[in-house]
Amino acid sequence: MGHFLGTFQTRDLDMEMNLQPTFDSNIGFKTRRTQRKMVACEEDLMSARVPPQYRDYCAHILLNYLVCRYKHMPFVYKCAHEKHNYMNCEQADYVLRMKEFEREKRLRQREKRLKQESNS
């Protein structure tokens, strides 16, 4: 069995880490949802020596922060605004991923409940 994501209550739903969503991303929404795009290119991330664990949706903001740190070294306190932007992006990304996890969990619970009701 793989690594599970979530709490003990989600174990029966087979929600594993790095599992792609199983439902259409527009189910339950009146308007079409656009997929988020990675803004930073891989070449820029490699040249800035950004570790793989930080190459996420907020990597372009991290690059701005790293450039600021490079320009103002040793006075990195001048980059507080760039750091704040990066931390806000990371926090917003975390909240969005948790909302998507909760959405996937509820849709799986609904699907399981509907199967049980149809078998009864």
The predicted pLDDT at position 7 comes to 60
Structure tokens at 77: 């306190």
In this structure, is residue 2 part of a structural domain? no
Q: Going by C-beta distance under 8 Å and a sequence separation of 6 or more, which residues neighbour residue 73?
A: none
The predicted pLDDT at position 63 comes to 95
The predicted pLDDT at position 18 comes to 61
In this structure, is residue 1 part of a structural domain? no
**Rg for the chain, CA atoms, rounded:** 20
In this structure, is residue 101 part of a structural domain? yes
pLDDT tens sequence across 49-83: 999 999 999 999 999 999 999 999 999 999 999 99
pTM: 0.77
- How many other C-beta atoms can be found within 10 angstroms of the C-beta atom of residue 65? 20
The number of distinct structural domains making up the chain is 1
Which range marks the domain in which residue 74 is found? 8-119
Structure tokens at 82: 């760039």
In this structure, is residue 85 part of a structural domain? yes
Tell me, what DSSP letter sits at residue 13?
G
In this structure, is residue 62 part of a structural domain? yes
In this structure, is residue 47 part of a structural domain? yes
The predicted pLDDT at position 17 comes to 61
pLDDT tens sequence across 2-43: 444 556 666 667 666 666 777 777 777 788 878 888 889 999
